[in-house]
Amino acid sequence: MVQVQELELGGRKLIIETGRMAKQAGGSVTVRYGDTVVLVTAVGADKPREGIDFFPLSVEYREQAYAVGRIPGGFFKREGRPREKEILSARLIDRPIRPLFPQEFRNEVQVFALILSADQENDSDILGMIGASAALSISDVPFLGPIGSVRVGMINGQYVINPTFQQLQESRLDIVIAGSRDSITMVEAGAREVSEDEIVAAIEFGHQYIKQIVEMQDELVKKCGKPKRVVTPAEKDQALIEKVRELTLNKVRAANILPQKEVRQDAVKQLAAEAIESLKESYPESDKTIKALIEEIQSQDLRERILKEGKRADGRGLTDIRPITCEVGVLPRTHGSALFTRGETQSLAVTTLGTASDGQRIEDLEGEYTKSYMLHYNFPPFSVGEVKPIRGPGRREIGHGALAERAVAPMIPAEDRFPYTVRVVSEILESNGSSSMASVCGASLSLMDAGVPIKSPVAGIAMGLVMEKDQVAILSDIMGLEDHLGDMDFKVAGTREGITALQLDIKVQGLTKDILQKALTQAHQGRMHILDIMTQTMDQPRTELSPYAPRILSLMIPPDKIGMVIGPGGKSIRALQEEFGVKIDIDDDNSGRVCVASVGAAGVAGAEACYEKIKWMTAEPEIGKIYQAKVVKIMNFGAFVEFMPGQEGLVHISELDKKRVEKVEDVVQEGQQIVVKLIKIDSDTGKVSLSRKQAL
């Protein structure tokens, strides 16, 4: 039976419907907002997956070309592997729902969001998040939801709920918020240097709408929700728990105060091996259980020390930041490079400058566009001392790269000021937490080293939380272990003026406004400290580009002259590139912007010469200006000359010479080069009159 729930939200109707499509899925809904429609399904496997100690959740998000009435390009004419936008949207759906399953649940669960219709005004990612919660809530999968999700913008100082794509262009803030009726579970934002107070206010503004979306789903569950499966926790062997605790507690406590990650990990591995050996006769084949118990003991001990003593595993206090070192210009032939090290996390950031044709062409449901700034994040296995197969970038790498890219993006100069394509690559050489924020810091330094005139350097910091009842500890600059055992991962990036990006994932209920405000304030203090150290190394972009970077000269030409520069079949533009040894890019938006690029500093003279020639070729005729002209045809009454490329005019016989001329051929011949002055342009016909006499 079809069930429908509706809600007026931001001047548009949000409609959740179930019972019409995909009825064999465990839970299935369509979510509509404007003319954007998303089908979301949730299916849980019947039996638990054997031999795993984690919850096997997978989220897929697919945009179909038919949603905007388009046929995919390429030879096969069908959708291929997920694009970056699809991967990022899948992660956005995954993050708020993952903590809301029973801890013991080991059945595979797949959530699938399929974009059926897109109106190119309302983003489908928010609908996917709402649909995932609704589909799971009405299914038999044990899910501790529902949750709601909204996007908030800020235009002219006013918060806007679920802004359209066009409104987001004007907005200083793009923040996605997910939460339950009582608390926030996930936040993701990009911003143009907004304050901490503005972030908190935006979250509060969005949460009032989240409550309404949760109520919608509650009503849907009442009408058609399936009975939930009962998850029976595995029985715990109390005797084994006590024996492991007795054998390892003191050793775990000793290991937990070792400041170095590798030394601490080796100590825990050693004590685990000793415990397994000691218990192998009484508890054979219990290796995994014993290791899991030791991990619990380690986590409990670290959390207690943080809450009671304010001390962390590496000896730091709650607000202390690990030692930081910054270096720039570390690679000899790259356009810009920086090495940023914070504790045991290290990013090598490398900047490369290219021309407009090096930009990334993207085709998605919002349309086609070109990205002229990119930040890519690589996480090789050696960064954590592991051996793994080397494949393409995974979802985590794409997500971390997108966050770092978003943090730095507001500082990248506009194309008309800096007409380069900019690519930054962050190679994570060591990792012990907060590598995405290290990428932000390294990228800022690398860009300045490359001479990119960024507005301000950007720094990032990851905050953590340990919370037990009324005890709360907020941690600055968390390392990997604290991310794992803590209750929050809160990444905040920005300049001295404000926040440019943030990402919040919370594993527990009860994140209050006070805790959020305190975490942001503490993050601000940490960010200022990091920026102080970064600016000691480099506080301004270099004034000169690398000698190995291309030099680009940009000019605007009349749009109707573009064809002249390109020539038939590209003949003219190829000839110019060959003659001057340059690369020429013409914007395809018919704006008339032309960029001439040399390869390295050595080619600057060629670029300048080509620039001047294009400028001359496309210039508009000016009355009173002297031109070098070529005689192309002689008539009884005068001579026609080409005084600009493709532009001819008449030198009347009376204007050929200062003395009287009886016959045109007595003064000029076809093919002869002469100097002429432009004396008139007929306003009706556009015919040009020139004079040799007045140019002599």
Sequence ranges of the binding site for Mg(2+): 483, 489
Axis crossing angle, helix 84-97 with helix 124-138, rounded to the nearest 10 = 40
Contact 625, 678 (CB under 8 A): yes
Phi, psi values for residue 396, rounded to 5°:
-65, -45
The alpha carbons of the chain give a radius of gyration, in whole angstroms, of 33
What is the DSSP secondary structure assignment for residue 1, as one 8-state letter?
Answer: -
Structure tokens at 278: 């000691």
Query: What are the phi and psi torsion angles at 35 (to 5°)?
Result: -110, 15
In 209-273, beta strands by DSSP E: none
Burial of 181 (0-12, 13-18, 19+ CB in 10 A): middle
Q: What is the rounded distance in angstroms from the CA atom of residue 619 to the CA atom of residue 623?
A: 12
Closest CA to 505 of 38, 156, 3, 98: 98
Name the residue type at position 343.
Answer: G
Q: Name all contacts of 242-251 with Cβ < 8 Å and 24+ positions apart.
A: 243/279, 243/282, 244/275, 244/279, 244/290, 244/293, 244/294, 244/297, 245/293, 245/297, 247/274, 247/275, 247/278, 247/279, 248/272, 248/275, 248/294, 248/297, 249/297, 249/301
Element spanning 56, H or E: none
Q: What are the tokens at 594?
A: 């032309």
Chain CA centroid to CA 276, Å = 45
Q: Which two tokens stand for residue 290?
A: 């014993």
The CA distance from 437 to 326, in Å, is: 14
Distance of alpha carbon 188 from the chain centroid: 11
Q: Facing residues of 4 across strands?
A: 17
Instruction: Give me the phi and psi of 15, to 5 degrees please.
Output: -120, 125
Distances in whole angstroms, Cα of residue 59 to Cα of each of 11, 64, 109: 30, 16, 8
Q: Which amino acid is at 298?
A: Q
Give me the phi and psi of 429, to 5 degrees please: -95, -25
Single-letter amino acid, residue 135: A
- Angle in degrees, 0-180, between the axes of helices 261-279 and 238-256, rounded to the nearest 10: 150
DSSP per residue, 524-593 = HHHHHHHHHHHHHH-SS--SS--TTS-EEEEEE--GGGHHHHH-GGGHHHHHHHHHHT-EEEE-TTSS-E
Phi-psi group of 320: left, alpha or beta (phi > 0 → left; psi -120 to 50 → alpha; rest → beta) = beta
CA nearest 180: which of 234, 217, 220? 217
d(CA 499, CA 459): 10
Q: Which two tokens stand for residue 105?
A: 């649940």
**Cis-peptide into 146, omega within 30 deg:** yes
Query: Would you call 417 helix, strand, or coil by DSSP?
Result: coil
Query: Which residue matches tokens 């992660």?
Result: 91
How is residue 249 written in tokens?
A: 């507690």
- Collapsing DSSP to helix, strand or coil, 237 comes out as coil
For 435, list phi and psi in degrees, rounded to 5.
-70, -30
